[in-house]
């Protein structure tokens, strides 16, 4: 697909885009990798500015893009190296608020179009919330286009002064089938469950950073409500973060049927072994866990917040955030009703099939680039 040379403001010179990634959540890192590979395949020159550890995690080198190490810090050296990397760019695309802020500073005084993708929403309270509002406003107003991964992020960008905000529903690559799961699904599940200590009991799984906004305190309240169930379900929480100590204390003090298993690199296996996956967050855009659960054909109970209802459609049970009783009841009902679980699995798989492909997302983003670079060259 020679999509590029005619769209470039430099005649036959390939379009040069710089993708700027900060720390990189799982969702934004996977998207930048997909975007870099898709753009490079279409003849676009791609430079990815990211901390080396983030770039290594998602293998920038394998995409055909050039990697420039830019530390996550906002110090002058970091901004200077970013400014240098963007010197001959036709367009710069920053992912996330902090990467975008550094990019706005680095591009000061240059007429290079800036695209910003908001993958998620930062969480802050009190005075920090006011600062966050100002930072979001600065980024929204500086960008030629803000792309939001869910409708509420697009609305948020508009409310912060974005002159052009659009929905680009970023989709994770569909996971490869877990090795061994297809040939021998029952044996595979049994092995995974045995390792977690849930052989003769239902398994409930959630995955994510152990942070306050993730709603794990509400989830543990719900787990108290499962103690009367027979057999007693086991709740497994995979992830690390600042709330680990507090959650561990509660599990021990209240004798809750729950285990913290830390950060895992076998999340697909965990999800495939689960009877129910739970997403209890106070806010999500296009939740990675929700996408993985629906792809894995596991019944999902999630909070009806942010972009979650738009993402899952009727492919999950939705409950209000913060309502431990509703969460406990929804999970208990599903555990008692294999038929309803199967129905949800089918609906979830059908919903996942409606999500845009990686190729469609790249095409949509490239369309935005074309608009901005053509506007410049006319």
Kindly give, in sequence order, each residue whose CB lies less than 8 Å from that of residue 58, ignoring residues fewer than 6 positions away: 24, 29, 30, 32, 33
In this predicted structure, what is the pLDDT of residue 327?
Answer: 98
Q: Which residue has the tokens 């999902």?
A: 300
Residue 179, pLDDT score: 47
Cα 145 to Cα 372: distance, rounded to the nearest angstrom: 9
Please state, for a pLDDT cut of 90, what percent of the chain lies above it. Answer: 75
- Domains, in order of start, for the chain: 5-171+356-377 (3.40.50.2000), 185-352 (3.40.50.2000)
Identify which of 117, 127, 92, 128 has the alpha carbon closest to the alpha carbon of residue 107.
92
Strands 203-207, 276-279: pairing is parallel
The predicted pLDDT at position 55 comes to 74
- How many residues would you count in the chain? 378
Calpha distance 128→134 (Å, rounded): 10
Q: How far apart are CA 318 and CA 280, in angstroms?
A: 10
Ranges in the chain, pLDDT < 50? 1-11, 179-180
């Amino acid at each position: 697909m020679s999509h590029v040379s005619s769209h470039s403001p430099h005649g036959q010179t390939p379009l040069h885009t710089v993708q700027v990634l900060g720390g990189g959540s799982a969702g934004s890192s996977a998207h930048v990798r997909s975007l870099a590979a898709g753009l490079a395949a279409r003849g676009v020159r791609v430079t990815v500015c990211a901390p080396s550890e983030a770039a290594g995690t998602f293998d920038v080198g394998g995409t055909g893009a050039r990697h420039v190490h830019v530390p996550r810090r906002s110090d002058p050296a970091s901004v200077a190296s970013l400014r240098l990397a963007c010197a001959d760019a036709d367009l710069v695309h920053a992912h996330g608020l902090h990467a975008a802020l550094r990019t706005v500073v680095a591009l000061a005084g240059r007429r290079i179009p800036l695209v910003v993708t908001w993958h998620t929403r930062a969480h802050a309270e009190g005075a920090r919330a006011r600062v966050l509002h100002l930072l979001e406003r600065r980024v929204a107003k500086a960008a030629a286009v803000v792309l939001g991964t869910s409708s509420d992020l697009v609305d948020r960008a508009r409310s912060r002064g974005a002159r052009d905000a659009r929905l680009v529903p970023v989709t994770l690559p569909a996971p490869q089938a877990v090795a061994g799961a297809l040939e021998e699904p029952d044996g595979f599940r049994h092995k995974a469950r045995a390792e977690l200590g849930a052989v003769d009991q239902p398994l409930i799984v959630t995955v994510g950073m152990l942070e306050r906004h993730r709603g794990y305190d509400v989830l543990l309240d719900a787990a108290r409500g499962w103690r009367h169930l027979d057999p007693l379900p086991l709740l497994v929480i995979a992830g690390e973060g600042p709330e680990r100590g507090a959650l561990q204390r509660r599990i021990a003090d209240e004798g809750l049927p729950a285990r913290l298993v830390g950060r895992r690199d076998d999340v697909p296996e965990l999800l495939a072994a689960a009877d129910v996956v739970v997403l209890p967050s106070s806010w999500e855009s296009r939740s990675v866990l929700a996408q993985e659960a629906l792809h894995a054909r596991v019944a999902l109970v999630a909070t009806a917040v942010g972009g979650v209802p738009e993402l899952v459609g009727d492919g999950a049970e939705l409950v209000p955030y913060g309502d431990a009783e509703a969460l406990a009841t929804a999970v208990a009902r599903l555990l008692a009703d294999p038929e309803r679980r199967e129905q949800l699995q089918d609906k979830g798989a059908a919903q996942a099939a409606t999500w845009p492909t990686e190729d469609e997302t790249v095409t949509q983003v490239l369309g935005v680039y074309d608009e901005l670079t053509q506007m410049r060259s006319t």
